[in-house]
Amino acid sequence: MPESTTARQFWIQTPGQGQIVTTTLPAKQDDQVLVRTLYSSISRGTETLVFRGEVPPSQHEAMRAPFQEGDFPGPVKYGYANVGEVVAGPDSLVGVTVFCLYPHQDHYYVQATDVTPLPDGLPPSRAVLAANMETAVNAVWDSRPTVGDEIVVIGAGVVGLLSAWLCQQLPGTRVTVVDINPAKEAVAEALGLTFVAGLPSHTQADLVLHASGQPEGLASALTVAGHEATVVDLSWYGDRPVTLPLGEDFHSKRLTLRSSQVGHLHPERIPRWTRSRRMSLALHLLLDPKVDALITGESPFEKLPDVLAKLSRDPRNTLCHRIAY
């Protein structure tokens, strides 16, 4: 296949307005590969905040995606879940299907070290979950669950469900997923998880993971944690302030509140792990077909501006929305 000289890219031009534009690619460098995109996916929580222009100025640099172009609030090219086929580059990679933390674009150049080959048996259509799985892996590292723990995960989005699914694979753990939307129960059950629509009663959890993206969910996480338990917040709130009832259970139960963010490896992992090793692990964990339940819709690339606008208004029943090229 001849190397492409043009590419179609999705840009957020201004908050609430997206557009697909055509651009000329720069000349390919010797250490680069050309990737033809097969699928990308929308990171519903983060990308809808970016689409609405809700990244606070203090976080403009911290929240940059690896291959972002432009700046918040726009024009900006944003995204980080791209699966494609290498069509030019080293012989060892040509024809290989890879994952890359790249925005929504049909052809692109990156260095060969920026792509991760999919393991044998992983469908490209499922591999779009890799960035979410990587976040879940990091969340579990930060949370440190152990054998026999009672664990509550508040928020049945993609990251919450994947984190719960990973925690449940520890022997003896009891994992409960909580969400105010009862429609999420079917997906939780497909992953073999116990689901509660609303807070469980009489819970004294050893560990609580909060992934609802809503301040009220984090406040609820404090109420279900047991004495001396840990609450780990996986959510990002954009420019919204968060008010917590710290005068209630937080002090009397001596709770620990910790944040988890995928941009940094857990300090204890840094001597042995790299981001590429973590991404490879995430892809191998996706070999289980159960996680297909997290993909709740698919649209062609041409519809992405309308799809993201709709999701930014009402994302309630959407988990991972896949984009096909």
The structural domains of the chain, ordered by start, are 6-129+286-324 (3.90.180.10), 135-259 (3.40.50.720)
How is residue 35 annotated by DSSP?
A: E
Map tokens 């060969």 to a residue: 112
Torsional sign, CA 299, 305, 306, 307: positive
CA distance 163 to 4: 38
Considering the entire predicted model, what is its pTM? 0.94
CA distance 106 to 7: 6
Identity of residue 305: P
pLDDT in single tens digits along all 325 residues of the chain: 455 689 999 999 999 999 999 999 999 999 999 999 999 999 888 999 999 999 999 999 989 999 999 999 999 999 999 999 999 999 999 999 999 999 999 999 999 999 999 999 999 999 999 999 999 999 999 999 999 999 999 999 999 999 999 999 999 999 999 999 999 999 999 999 999 998 887 789 999 999 999 999 999 999 999 999 999 999 989 888 999 999 888 999 999 999 998 988 889 999 999 999 999 999 999 999 999 999 999 999 999 999 999 999 987 889 999 999 9
Identity of residue 67: F
Map tokens 């983060």 to a residue: 46
**Which residues is 209 bridged to in the sheet?**
153, 232
**What distances in angstroms separate CA 49 from CA 20, 88, 239, one per listed residue?**
19, 35, 9
